[in-house]
Amino acid sequence: MKNGEKLLKDTILYAVANFGSSILSFLMIPLYTYYFTTSEYGLWDIVVTTSTLLTPFITFELVAAVYRWLIEEKRLNKRKRIITTGLFMILRNLVMFNILGLIVMLIFKIPFGWQALLFINVSIASSFLQQCARGLGHNKLFASLGIIQTTITVAFNLFFIFALELRIEAFFYSSIIASLLVVVFAWKVMSFSQYITSSAYSSILTKSLLAYSIPIIPGAASWWIMTMSDRYFITAFLGIEYNGIYAVANKIPALLLMINSVFFLAWKDSAIIEFSAKDKDHYYSKVFQYFFRLMATSVIMLTLITKPVLWLAISPDFYSSWKYIGILLVAALFNACALFWSAGYHGAKKTKVIFVTSFVGALVNVIVNLILIKYIGLYAVVISSFISFLVVWLIRVVASNRYFKITIHYQDMIVLLSLIALANFAPFIFGPLGLLISICIGAVVFVAYNWKGLRMVYVRFLSRRTKV
């Protein structure tokens, strides 16, 4: 299937861009943990979490719908219709949200309310332009926008911290400036004005876009509950300073999610395009085998290196975060598996399945948190994430048989999950030498399981470029 090579090309493209972005963000962690208190870092994490929750309700998930329609449309007049219609509806919703936000801020005193309102607006604008670039086939532009935005954010953070000695305001201002510059840059490069004309607006298309996007909203909210609502449980039951520790603990799993997001960007395109192919089940199954091996072996390596890396890199106030990272990495693994299946559902345009499964997972997450958080503290939060993502993935596997069937290689899964369990215990029971030996073994396992995929990347792409 020729799209397999396209999937590999797009994955490598997104990997280069996302790797750069993630490395820049990761390198800033030592500065943030030494400069900001656990409470300040926890407060910023709450702001980002709340913004993520509000976005689907503001946009009606029309950003996702516009991308979904654009990716299969090549005619200019149709693309104008899609972008104009989606943009008009999002702008209308933003106006209503801003009016409501201003009224709320006049009645209640909300810390950093104005900054948060502007942050949400520019984040939505940036996201819309980036997804349009992706839907229009400007994959290189889309990949570069992420690293441009991260680079600008980091640069302005350094300026605001060292030159102006700002505290949490530095996060707001740098993020807002970066999003605005990305919008301007993407608009100019794509000559985006050509896609916007009032005559292209379509009320008929509006209904189609909403029929696709509305079911995603509760699903997105449910996904938010599983991935981010933990911050509210921590703040309410344990205190804002514990949220700062939890935010740092999530930085290592964020590296795994980076690997997943890189792949998922390319995989979602492929899964949608190939959905009508007769051999899609074989294609989906083969891709999942490589995907699971990469993600599982990455979990093993990240779990083993976490403790020594954090000991070297971060403030002692945040060091205890290493204890929770192993379970969070397992949760991220099942999160990735659930998202893998969701791409197939997008191909089938069965977004209601995504909502139902996400809702069940969210319910499980809340129940486990409420039952355990008073007794085992932060461990309740990481365990609830692990259980909820596992439940979502298992339900999606069963429900997918009506639309597509992915063959799971259980031998791989049993061996790798067993090794992941051992890797989680290793930092607690081994000293430095034992942990070093474990890391070496983990590296061998990583290469052994991913050798075929790594060789394929080298033969098909890297070796060709070397010869040129």
Residue 467, pLDDT > 50, answer: no
- Residues of the chain with pLDDT > 70, as a percent, come to 81
Distance, CA of 187 to CA of 190 (rounded, Å): 6
8 A C-beta contact, residue 33 and residue 317: yes
Query: What backbone torsions phi and psi does residue 408 show, to the nearest 5 degrees?
Result: -100, 130
Distance, CA of 284 to CA of 337 (rounded, Å): 12
Predicted local confidence at residue 419, as pLDDT: 94
CA 190 distance to own-chain centroid: 25
pTM over 0.95: no
> Which range among 163-177, 260-274, 295-309, 454-468 has the greatest average pLDDT?
295-309
> Which range among 31-35, 406-410, 421-425 has the greatest average pLDDT?
421-425
Give me the mean pLDDT over the 167-189 stretch.
88
The DSSP 8-state label assigned to residue 350 in this structure reads -
Residue 243, pLDDT > 50, answer: yes
CB atoms within 10 A of CB 468: 4
pLDDT interval class at 24 (50, 70, 90): low
The token pair at 256 is 């795994």
Predicted local confidence at residue 465, as pLDDT: 47
| CA neighbor of 327 nearest in space, from 308, 306, 309, 312 | 306
The end-to-end CA distance of the chain, in Å, is 26
Predicted local confidence at residue 468, as pLDDT: 43
The token pair at 61 is 């998930």
Give me the mean pLDDT over the 333-354 stretch.
79
Residue 232, pLDDT > 80, answer: no
| CA neighbor of 357 nearest in space, from 225, 231, 267 | 225
111 backbone φψ class: left, alpha, beta (φ>0; ψ -120 to 50): beta
Give me the chain's average pLDDT, please: 80
Predicted local confidence at residue 115, as pLDDT: 83
Predicted local confidence at residue 187, as pLDDT: 92
Q: Which residue has the higher pLDDT, 190 or 315?
A: 190
The DSSP 8-state label assigned to residue 317 in this structure reads G
